[in-house]
């Protein structure tokens, strides 16, 4: 649960925080743009009305038949938009003398819009200021085009409070929408996180049980995404570990038996020869041969175990030097010829005239051939034949060992190179010989291939690359 809390916390501190910051920034931008748009629209309405009034005053001033002062007062008194804005008349002393509202006008002493209108070529000045009641107002002053009379200018004043109210309400609406979006995103992501953290918790519990040695536990995979793939991998890992554990237990049992058998024979004959001081020469020779044979067998098992231990610990090494692979193959065949004859098996070797040199370790290459030949003879029945062939093609040396033994089943064939695995538990052996062969051949840059058919026989093919100098020659 600690890891799950860390995932949620990390998401809240990173992803969700970024989302909130982004939404706040967007909200602020939208509110600012909306506010600017509404204020611009409100001011533009006043400016448009001011432009109409200026055109009217210009018309009054150039028409001699019209009394400018009288028509201007009439324009103020009959101002149609008095419910939205106020129209004032400013006298030559810069004092308000008439208002469209019908009430005595109240103005601050400073009117920068009036100053701007009098100086401007357009005759219009504008300013946003505070009214005496404290509200924000937008003022537009139109300078009088007539120099006669007591009216200096007309002033339009519109309150910005309705606009501010609309902007404030819209801002509240945007904020509410933003909060709702944050809530929806938070809820959706918490549901999503739950869909992740729940299977993660199940995987964690299962992994802990597997780590403690319970290889029978499995995850109930209900997912069809990457999490489902992870569950499948965990279950596959548990299957593999379970098989490895079974093979390891069988390996220990097999090795124990393999070690006990030669030790029993050695001890039995040693006791026999030690107790029977008057035994004949024939009996003594027979006992010594058994002791020597079982000692060699015991030594072979121990060597396999030592090699396997080095492979597991990453300490397995080989020397790379120019060597004659044909000599090592012939020596291994010679070593097994007598054994094959004793067990009624024919060992046929199709000897090539010559093979190129390879870069490798003589002892390790001989060990490869010894393990392969030992398996071929071990799994062959009396009267069978083991065929050995060697050839060279395109800079690659191939050595093939084919027997007519029991063969390997299709389901066991992919596992035959794995450590501890034995396809036939009735035969002697530790189950790590082929794993060692695979490691040696791979380290020498070669390939190791096994072909087999149950009840027909098995063919093992190893290949080694020719040394570069010989290949060029």
User: Got the DSSP string for 88-137?
Assistant: EEEETTS-EEEETTSSPP---S--HHHHHHHHSSSSEEEEEEE-TTS-EE
> What's the confidence (pLDDT) of residue 463?
92
Nearest by Cα to 132 from 114, 164, 159, 168:
159
Instruction: Locate CATH 3.30.450.20 in the chain.
Output: 2-166
Q: Mention every residue, 6+ apart, whose C-beta is less than 8 A from residue 66.
A: 59, 60
> What's the confidence (pLDDT) of residue 412?
79
Structure-block tokens of residue 357: 């040199």
Query: Nearest 5°: phi and psi at 56?
Result: -65, -45
Instruction: Locate CATH 1.10.287.130 in the chain.
Output: 226-312
User: Helices (H) and strands (E) in the chain — how many of each?
Assistant: 11, 12
Q: Mention every residue, 6+ apart, whose C-beta is less than 8 A from residue 230.
A: 199, 203
> What's the confidence (pLDDT) of residue 173?
92
Ramachandran sector of residue 449 (left: φ over 0; alpha: ψ -120 to 50; beta: rest): beta
Q: Rounded distance, CA 179 to CA 185, Å?
A: 10
What residue ranges of the chain have pLDDT lower than 70?
1-7, 104-109, 132, 247, 250-259, 261, 277-279, 308, 311-314, 316, 418-431, 469-473
| Third-level CATH fold of 2-166 | Beta-Lactamase (3.30.450)
**What is the 3-state composition of the chain as percent helix, strand, coil, each rounded to the nearest 5?**
55, 15, 25
Q: Mention every residue, 6+ apart, whose C-beta is less than 8 A from residue 241.
A: 210, 215
Nearest by Cα to 154 from 139, 166, 138, 143:
143
As to burial, measured by CB atoms within 10 angstroms (0-12 exposed, 13-18 middle, 19+ buried), residue 81 is middle
Q: Rounded distance, CA 372 to CA 390, Å?
A: 14
Q: Rounded distance, CA 360 to CA 367, Å?
A: 12
> What's the confidence (pLDDT) of residue 169?
92
> What's the confidence (pLDDT) of residue 108?
54
> What's the confidence (pLDDT) of residue 313?
65
CATH, domain range 321-472: 3.30.565.10
Rounded alpha-carbon distances, angstroms, from residue 67 to 60, 63, 70, 111, 147: 7, 9, 5, 27, 13
In angstroms, the first-to-last Cα distance of the chain is 67
CATH, domain range 226-312: 1.10.287.130
Instruction: Locate CATH 3.30.565.10 in the chain.
Output: 321-472
């Amino acid at each position: 649960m600690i890891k799950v809390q860390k995932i949620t916390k990390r998401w809240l501190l990173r992803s969700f925080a970024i989302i909130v910051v982004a939404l706040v920034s967007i909200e602020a931008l939208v509110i600012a743009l909306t506010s600017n748009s509404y204020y611009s629209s409100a001011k533009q309405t006043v400016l448009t009305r001011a432009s109409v009034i200026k055109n009217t005053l210009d018309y009054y001033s150039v028409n001699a038949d019209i009394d400018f002062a009288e028509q201007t007062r009439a324009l103020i008194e009959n101002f149609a938009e008095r419910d939205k804005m106020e129209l004032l008349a400013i006298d030559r002393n810069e004092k308000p003398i008439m208002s469209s509202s019908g009430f005595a006008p109240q103005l601050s002493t400073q009117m920068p819009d009036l100053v701007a209108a009098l100086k401007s070529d357009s005759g219009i000045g504008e300013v946003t200021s505070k009214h005496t009641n404290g509200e924000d107002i937008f003022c537009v002053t139109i300078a009088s085009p007539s120099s006669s009379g007591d009216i200096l200018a007309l002033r339009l004043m519109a309150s910005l409070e309705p606009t501010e109210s609309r902007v404030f309400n819209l801002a509240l609406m945007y904020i509410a929408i933003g909060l709702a979006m944050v809530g929806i995103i938070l809820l959706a992501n918490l549901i999503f996180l739950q869909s992740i953290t729940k299977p993660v918790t199940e995987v964690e519990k299962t992994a802990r049980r597997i780590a403690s040695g319970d290889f029978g536990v499995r995850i109930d995979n209900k997912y069809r995404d990457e999490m489902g793939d992870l569950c499948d991998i965990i279950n596959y890992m548990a299957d593999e570990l379970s098989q490895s554990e079974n093979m390891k237990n069988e390996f220990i049992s097999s090795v124990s038996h393999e070690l006990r058998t030669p030790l029993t024979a050695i001890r039995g004959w040693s006791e026999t020869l030690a107790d029977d001081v008057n035994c004949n020469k024939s009996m003594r020779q027979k006992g010594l041969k058994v002791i020597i044979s079982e000692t060699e067998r015991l030594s072979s098992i121990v060597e396999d175990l030592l090699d396997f231990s080095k492979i597991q610990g990453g300490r397995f090494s080989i020397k790379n030097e120019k060597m004659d692979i044909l000599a090592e193959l012939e020596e291994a065949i010679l070593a097994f010829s007598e054994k094959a004859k004793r067990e009624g098996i024919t060992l046929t070797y199709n000897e090539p005239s010559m093979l190129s040199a390879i870069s490798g370790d003589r002892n390790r290459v001989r060990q490869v051939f010894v393990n392969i030949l030992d398996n071929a003879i071990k799994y062959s029945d009396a009267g069978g034949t083991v065929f050995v062939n060697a050839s060279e093609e395109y800079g690659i040396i191939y050595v093939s060992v084919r027997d007519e033994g029991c063969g390997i089943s299709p389901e066991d064939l992919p596992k035959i190179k794995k450590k501890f695995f034995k396809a036939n538990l009735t035969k002697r052996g530790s189950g790590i010989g082929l794993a060692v062969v695979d490691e040696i051949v791979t380290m020498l840059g070669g390939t190791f291939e096994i072909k087999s058919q149950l009840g027909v026989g098995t063919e093992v093919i190893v290949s080694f690359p020719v040394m570069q100098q010989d290949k060029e020659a």
